[in-house]
Amino acid sequence: MKAVAIILIVLVLAAVGAIGYLYLKADLTVRFVNCIATEAVTQLDYFEQLKDGIEASTFVGTLYGSRELGTADGYQFLSYTLRLSNHAFLDAEVIEIRITPMEGDVAQIGETQQYRLPAGKEMDLSATILTARGMHSVREATVTCYFWGIPFTTKLTVGR
């Protein structure tokens, strides 16, 4: 009986060590690819749809303030693309990009889809914000993902 107990303790310690190793090796590399600025006037229908959603409180995304939107010629969309590389042995789940707002930013358009990055793979994700026309594109992005339910966060400067 004593030998069985020792074998079980060794197996439990090996399993705990293996799980610890998986978490220590959980690594998601995030690189900035590009930022595309688009005047809201060129996407007038989309801008009006967002404006109506904000006024009706049906907007999907993050509002940075409670100000009312004017006409489309005073705004622009900034779309940031980031490349994510999963160097872990686990899948990265529920990946989310949050842009830290600056004065003049109105909202970040939300995603209705959850993203998953398999182990050893790479993918590009985008985040789009609505901001005042003429604002520069440099912002801080926070990328959060989960490995087996534990959150991992990476921050980087984007838009340069």
Q: Kindly report, residue by residue over 95-150, the tens digit of the pLDDT.
A: 999 999 999 899 999 888 899 999 889 999 999 999 999 899 999 999 999 988 88
- What values do phi and psi take at 26, rounded to 5? -70, 110
Each domain of the chain, given as residue ranges in start order, spans: 27-158
In 8-160, the DSSP E strands lie at: 28-39, 61-63, 75-86, 92-99, 105-109, 115-117, 122-132, 139-147, 150-158
* Nearest in space to 130 (alpha carbons), one of 63, 82, 67, 81: 63
Question: Domain 27-158, what fold?
Answer: Immunoglobulin-like (2.60.40)
- What values do phi and psi take at 56, rounded to 5? -90, 0
- The structure tokens 């993918």 sit at 123
Percent of the residues in the chain that have a pLDDT greater than 70, as a whole number: 96
- What values do phi and psi take at 13, rounded to 5? -65, -40
User: In sequence order, which ranges of 25-96 are alpha helices (DSSP H)?
Assistant: 44-55
* Nearest in space to 130 (alpha carbons), one of 111, 152, 109: 109
Q: How many CA atoms lie within 13 A of 126 on its CB side?
A: 12
pLDDT at site 141? 95
pTM of the full structure? 0.84
Which pair of structure tokens corresponds to residue 50? 């967002």
What angle (nearest 5°) sits at the alpha carbon of residue 15, between those of residues 9 and 20? Answer: 125
pLDDT at site 68? 80
pLDDT at site 26? 67
